[in-house]
Structure 1
Amino acid sequence: MHPAPSVIVFTVLSGAGFGYLAFLGLGLSTGTGAIAFWQFALGFGMAVAGLVSSTFHLGNPQRALLAFTQWRTSWLSREAWASCSALLVMAGFAVAAIFFGRILNVVGVLGASLCLATVVATSMIYAQMATVPRWNSPLTPGYFIACALTAGAILSAQNHLAVVCLIGLALIQTVCWQRGDRRFTERGHSIASATGLGSKGRTRLFEAPHTGTNYLLKEFGFHVARRHAAKLRVIGMALLCVLPALILSSASGGMAVALAFVIHLAGAFVSRWLFFAEAEHVVQLYYGHQPQGATG
């Protein structure tokens, strides 16, 4: 899949923002007054920046409001409603903490639940796509939730919990890569199954459907060399989990938290780039491509 920068920024920043807001809603290291102002400014800033960046991938960004109309069938629409609801509830929670010095626990728990529901809805946009075997797995929501919770734990200065989350994220990320590499083979997708001609004998492409590029090839025909992907996986894992865990295990204080989060965020961008770049859409089969693990 084409790793569009706007979608990568959207999923990484919104996930980190809602993850941090969830921790603030649960009262973990939530301050009051000026401290709370900067805490919520960071959480809301990342969440809103991520949501706004998602509109740049739309063909007609001015129609973004139409996403709210299909909540019965669309995970994108459900994400829109969940995100707005989460931001509104957390805004009320933030106002009470900043201006009145009060932590409204019930409101905070509701807001935290909506924040996590938003992350789940975002992940389901991809997990429900049967045409992309690598994404079509319960591991995808697990990966998105783990990233959000890890970012929230780091920013909340819950160092011990953050290290546990980082270890858990490392395990989930590793399984996602290993399982994802086999998904196409396990599904049995091939040019024979795509055309329904498998019973007639060996199926192969006689001529390409188009003489030039088109939208499908641009969006779904992206390929990343395996050797490059392997290098990026090592870099991504080091930045996403290993280095932040080492920093938080050996140091404490604001500088350690800030450094760990910046490194973790850089790793999240690498990880999310691979999430899209390595995803193989079955439409590639109609253009003669043989995705990793495809047979026939």
Structure 2
Amino acid sequence: MHPAFSVVFFTTATGAGYGLLALLGVLGGLQIIPADFWLGLVGLALALGLIAAGLLSSTGHLGRPERAWRAFSQWRSSWLSREGVSSVITFIPAGLFGIGWVFLGHTDGWVAIAGLLAAIGAIVTVCTTGMIYASLKPIAQWHSRYTLPAYLIFAAMTGSVLLNALCQGFAIGSKMLLAACVLLTVFGWGWKLATWRHNDRLEIPTTANTATGLAGGTVRSLEWPHTEENYLLKEMGFRIARKHGAKLRRITQLLAFALPVLLLTAAFVLPWPFAAVFSGFAAIVQFTGMLVERWLFFAEAKHTVTLYYGR
């Protein structure tokens, strides 16, 4: 699949934003983290800013962005529409939670309920995003048991690392949060390796014979259906060289998982403000690595339609 940057940034930014929002809603609503004015202001602004930037970026991949609003009407059958509806609904409790935390100075009572509802909305929205890809049967690399959990795991991972960086920056970080960040990053690393292993061993049952319904022989293409590059080949027939894919996988592991683990481990043993600096670097490096991971997620996917072009 063609890895358009608008969609790569959308899935990365919204995943981190919803992960951070969910953690702020739960931990803030349960008073596990203090109702600090600046933490609430910066944290919620960062979470909602990432979500809004990602959603706006996603419209850049549409042929007619001005018609994006029509996607909301198909929520009964479309995961894309459900994602749009849930993302908008989530802004309502998130906004109330922000008003209570930032302007009223407390996160208990109705503010806590709003925070928990915002967390639920964030989780539901991430699930709908994952299902957009997991439900696509023509793309075997996505239509697997690994896709939906990956979106939830990576949202929790990047969101926790962002929250830790914020808490460390305001000198209210905790060893428990740091340990959770390390464990989630290691878990995400293992899940990504398992996904790659599954995809590399994947035996796709669909062939040119089954795709055309012409059994009993070997179907091959004498001529391409088109004499030049078209939309299908551009969007569905993108190919990445094996050596480049292997290199980008190593970069993903280094930036998204290995370096953040090392930086967070260093922050675990260093005093403040060094712990804050290392935590901030970990969040930046991991976000960069997840952009590479998302690019690979699209680039390595193979659509069944390419069989009609002899690929």
Which interval holds the TM-score relative to the shorter structure? over 0.9
Distance in 2, matches of 1:282 and 1:271, equals: 22
Distance in 2, matches of 1:224 and 1:245, equals: 29
Q: What residue ranges of structure 2 are gaps of 5+ in the alignment? A: 165-176, 269-274
Shift of 1:247: 0.8
Distance in 1, matches of 2:118 and 2:71, equals: 22
Shift of 1:34: 2.7
* 1:107 alignment counterpart: 114
* 1:279 alignment counterpart: 301
* 1:292 alignment counterpart: none
Whether the aligned pair in 2 keeps the contact of 1:29 and 1:156 (CA below 8 Å) is no
Distance change >3 Å, CA 17–CA 84, structure 1 → 2: same
Distance in 2, matches of 1:242 and 1:30, equals: 30
Runs of 4+ aligned residues of structure 1 deviating over 6 Å after TM superposition are none
- Name the amino acid aligned to 1:226: R
Alignment match of 2:101 (pick from 81, 97, 106):
97
Corresponding position: 1:55 with 2:72: no
Corresponding position: 1:160 with 2:179: yes
Alignment match of 1:261 (pick from 265, 283, 286):
283
* 2:214 alignment counterpart: 197
Distance change >3 Å, CA 165–CA 217, structure 1 → 2: same
Distance in 2, matches of 1:181 and 1:197, equals: 28
* 1:207 alignment counterpart: 223
Shift of 1:32: 3.0
Shift of 1:147: 0.9
Secondary structure, aligned partner of 1:241: helix
Distance in 2, matches of 1:14 and 1:260, equals: 18
Whether the aligned pair in 1 keeps the contact of 2:255 and 2:288 (CA below 8 Å) is yes
Shift of 1:35: 2.6
- Name the amino acid aligned to 2:284: V
Alignment match of 2:78 (pick from 70, 74, 79):
74
* 1:118 alignment counterpart: 125
Secondary structure, aligned partner of 1:197: coil
Shift of 1:138: 2.1
* 2:167 alignment counterpart: none
TM-score (norm 1): 0.94
Distance in 2, matches of 1:62 and 1:112, equals: 30
Distance in 2, matches of 1:144 and 1:165, equals: 13
Distance in 2, matches of 1:279 and 1:259, equals: 31
Distance change >3 Å, CA 8–CA 71, structure 1 → 2: same
Shift of 1:30: 5.6
Shift of 1:81: 1.1
* 1:127 alignment counterpart: 134
Q: What residue ranges of structure 1 are gaps of 5+ in the alignment? A: 290-296
- Name the amino acid aligned to 2:238: F
- Name the amino acid aligned to 2:286: H
How big is each residue's C-alpha offset from its partner over 1:45-78, in whole Å with a ceiling of 9 and x where there is no partner? 1111001100111111011111110000000111
- Name the amino acid aligned to 1:75: W
- Name the amino acid aligned to 2:262: L
Shift of 1:152: 1.3
Distance in 2, matches of 1:257 and 1:84, equals: 31
Corresponding position: 1:8 with 2:37: no
Whether the aligned pair in 1 keeps the contact of 2:35 and 2:106 (CA below 8 Å) is no
Distance in 1, matches of 2:237 and 2:256, equals: 27
Whether the aligned pair in 2 keeps the contact of 1:11 and 1:50 (CA below 8 Å) is yes
Aligned pair count? 286
Alignment match of 1:270 (pick from 257, 279, 292):
292
Distance in 2, matches of 1:33 and 1:153, equals: 19
TM-score (norm 2): 0.90
